């Protein structure tokens, strides 16, 4: 395959993880102490990539938003603005949002191995051998069938040559379908019946505020950035002249004590979200929901995710979150998933007026339609709201209403991971002797690439490094560029290909005669000459394409 044809991204996650570590994109958090499960550190290239993802989101959604015209697919023109709220908020926020009561997963503990599993992430099969029938389990995922078989062989003492003596009753199914826990062999257990019944487990990290540290001082690290926007809705409206429809965006850290963090950064315990709460008139909310689903899909494809590996999945009624009238997920076929499976990149939820009303009146009962206050055993509101008026009065029509909310909620780390997986590929490129060699290349969109251009003197003599240094310093004022004069130029190109650098500028013998340099395109390998003084404008033009 020529290097101009875009190969399918590698399906091998191990190679991507290894590149990330080798080239300084991502490291296991606290690695020298053995790591801490669910926490990741971005290295020198990773920090730039993730910053570029967030920067692209902020620019495209907020800073450069055209609020004068009706955008394609939008019901009308709208405004966008932003917030940056604190991570620790008043505990009442989480009671009224529903996170205090509802934000949990079910988990099972293994009394023998002392391991803890998410109930819905354990998979198993009914297996019978010599009259004994058990539900033998493994962690759900790529290798689950093989894992179940290994576990069954170990327990029943069956050798590989006799594996067909294991009698399976049906295919793999989730542990959530099984009631008889005494018949379950846990994923890491040697005896059946060691898994506990599923128990609720709140995903919010607890902390204490102040020196006394009593029960009254308990607070939580935010599990989403969204609530900061809801509780500041009135502040934004009172301090600005915005009218609805208005989107308020926020990006920042969120924390969830996930039971089984896994798949690299996909499910972490500390991660960043990029969320928009879009406030609109209830009568237009269905149209705005459609608009945001399409707009957000478009954003990912414009930045390089292939539509073949992206899908928009509308939730079934039973799957909807407690507040949601409708939700769609933008999902990506990550390489760590089995073929045909997708992982969530972003959820777009129609939240109705649940959040503003809950913070105004008190926590609403998500099971009741129409939504009404949730009452405690004493008949009083279970969690009191702020009592502040969070409704909106339209100064043109004088209509007063509680806005409906559409929420496009994305993960910065998941988006970064998807862009990395999509970009990773291996193709053929000529080496210094013109021989075709396999090269590893990150075909990142130039907007996302950590380094925009590398400046390379062909050789370290004849005044080439001096000219390259001047070009480098001139470009440095505009873009993140890199200077490299070590090793043969072919090897330096390879290093930049692996880092995803879209352009290399090379100072060579001809530069000394006519002041031109070559620009090399990472993907097509095309090289052309420009005057050294035109490098900055050439790179700027290329980045804007």
Of 347 and 362, nearer to ligand GAP (C-beta) is 347
Residue from 346, 427, 484, 508 touching ligand GAP (CB under 6 A): that is 346
Of 98 and 187, nearer to ligand GAP (C-beta) is 98
Contact present, 338 and 365 (Cβ < 8 Å): no
Q: Which stretch binds ligand GAP (CB under 6 A): 42-50, 175-183, 264-272, 357-365?
A: 264-272
Of 144 and 258, nearer to ligand GAP (C-beta) is 258
413 binds ligand GAP (CB under 6 A): yes
CB of 323 to ligand GAP, least distance (A): 9
Q: Which stretch binds ligand GAP (CB under 6 A): 27-35, 65-73, 157-165, 345-353?
A: 345-353
273 binds ligand GAP (CB under 6 A): yes
Q: How many helices (H) and strands (E) does the chain have?
A: 14, 29
H-only helix segments in 327-482: 354-361, 412-423, 464-476
Of 253 and 460, nearer to ligand GAP (C-beta) is 253
Residue from 263, 409, 496, 506 touching ligand GAP (CB under 6 A): that is 409
411 binds ligand GAP (CB under 6 A): yes
Closest CA to 388 of 352, 356, 365, 354: 356
Ranked by CB distance to ligand GAP, the top (closest) residue is 411
347 binds ligand GAP (CB under 6 A): yes
Contact present, 89 and 231 (Cβ < 8 Å): yes
Q: Count Cα atoms within 13 angstroms, Cβ side, for 482.
A: 23
Q: How far is CA 95 from CA 131, 209, 379, 382, in A?
A: 51, 17, 17, 9
Of 3 and 273, nearer to ligand GAP (C-beta) is 273
Contact present, 139 and 259 (Cβ < 8 Å): no
CB of 329 to ligand GAP, least distance (A): 7
The token duo for 243 is: 């009218």
Cα separation, 125 vs 152, in Å, equals: 9
3-class SS of residue 94: helix
414 binds ligand GAP (CB under 6 A): yes
Residues binding ligand GAP: number (CB under 6 A):
19
344 binds ligand GAP (CB under 6 A): yes
Contact present, 135 and 178 (Cβ < 8 Å): yes
Cα separation, 465 vs 494, in Å, equals: 20
Range 211-250, binding ligand GAP (CB under 6 A): 224, 226
Cα separation, 332 vs 336, in Å, equals: 11
Q: What is the CA radius of gyration of the chain?
A: 27
Residue from 256, 439, 445, 494 touching ligand GAP (CB under 6 A): that is 256
Residue from 48, 144, 149, 275 touching ligand GAP (CB under 6 A): that is 275
Residues lying near ligand GAP in the complex (CB under 6 A) are found at 224, 226, 256, 258, 267-268, 271, 273, 275, 344-347, 407, 409-411, 413-414
């Amino acid at each position: 395959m020529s290097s101009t044809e875009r190969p399918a991204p590698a399906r091998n996650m191990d190679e991507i993880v290894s590149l990330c570590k080798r080239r300084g994109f991502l490291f296991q958090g606290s690695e020298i102490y053995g790591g801490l499960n669910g926490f990741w550190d971005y290295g020198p290239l990773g920090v730039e990539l993730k910053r570029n993802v967030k920067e692209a989101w902020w620019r495209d959604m907020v800073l450069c938003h055209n609020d004068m015209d009706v955008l394609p697919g939008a019901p009308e023109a709208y405004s966008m603005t932003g917030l940056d709220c604190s991570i620790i908020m008043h505990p009442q926020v989480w009671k009224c949002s529903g996170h205090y009561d509802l934000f949990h997963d079910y988990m099972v503990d293994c009394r023998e191995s002392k391991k803890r599993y998410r109930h819905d992430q354990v998979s198993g099969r009914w297996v019978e051998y010599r009259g004994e029938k058990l539900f033998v389990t493994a962690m759900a995922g790529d290798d689950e069938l093989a894992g179940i078989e290994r576990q069954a062989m170990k327990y029943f003492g069956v050798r590989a040559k006799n594996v067909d003596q294991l009698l399976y009753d049906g295919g793999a199914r989730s542990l959530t379908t099984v009631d008889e826990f005494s018949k379950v062999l846990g994923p890491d257990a040697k005896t059946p019946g060691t898994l506990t019944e599923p128990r609720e487990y709140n995903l919010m990290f607890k902390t204490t505020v102040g020196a006394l540290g009593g029960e009254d001082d308990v607070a939580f690290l935010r599990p989403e950035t969204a609530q900061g926007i809801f509780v500041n809705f009135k502040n934004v409206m009172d301090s600005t002249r915005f009218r609805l429809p208005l989107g308020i965006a926020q990006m920042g850290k969120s924390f969830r004590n996930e039971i089984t963090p896994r798949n690299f950064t996909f499910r972490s315990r500390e991660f960043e979200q990029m969320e928009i709460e879009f406030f609109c008139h209830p009568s237009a909310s269905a149209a705005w929901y459609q608009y945001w689903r399409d707009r957000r899909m478009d954003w990912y494809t414009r930045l390089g995710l292939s539509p073949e590996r992206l899908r928009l999945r509308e939730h079934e009624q039973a799957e909807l979150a407690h507040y949601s009238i409708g939700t769609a997920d933008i999902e990506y076929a990550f390489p760590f998933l089995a073929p045909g499976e997708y992982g969530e990149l972003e959820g777009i939820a129609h939240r109705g007026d649940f959040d503003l009303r809950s913070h105004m009146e008190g926590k609403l009962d998500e099971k009741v339609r129409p939504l009404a206050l949730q009452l405690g055993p004493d008949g009083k509101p279970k969690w009191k709201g702020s009592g502040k008026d969070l409704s909106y009065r339209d100064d043109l029509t004088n209509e007063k209403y509680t806005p409906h909310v559409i929420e496009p909620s994305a993960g910065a780390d998941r988006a970064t991971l998807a862009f990395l997986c999509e970009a990773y590929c291996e193709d053929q490129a000529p080496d210094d002797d013109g021989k075709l060699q396999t090269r590893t290349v990150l075909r990142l969109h130039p907007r996302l690439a950590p380094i925009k251009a590398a400046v390379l003197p062909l050789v370290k003599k004849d005044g080439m490094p001096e000219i390259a240094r001047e070009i480098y310093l001139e470009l440095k004022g505009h873009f993140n560029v890199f200077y490299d004069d070590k090793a043969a130029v072919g090897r330096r190109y390879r290093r930049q290909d692996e880092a995803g650098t879209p352009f290399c500028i090379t100072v060579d013998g001809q530069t000394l005669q006519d002041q031109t340099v070559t620009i090399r395109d990472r993907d097509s390998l095309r090289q052309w000459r420009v005057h050294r003084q035109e490098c900055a404008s050439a790179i700027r033009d290329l980045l804007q394409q």
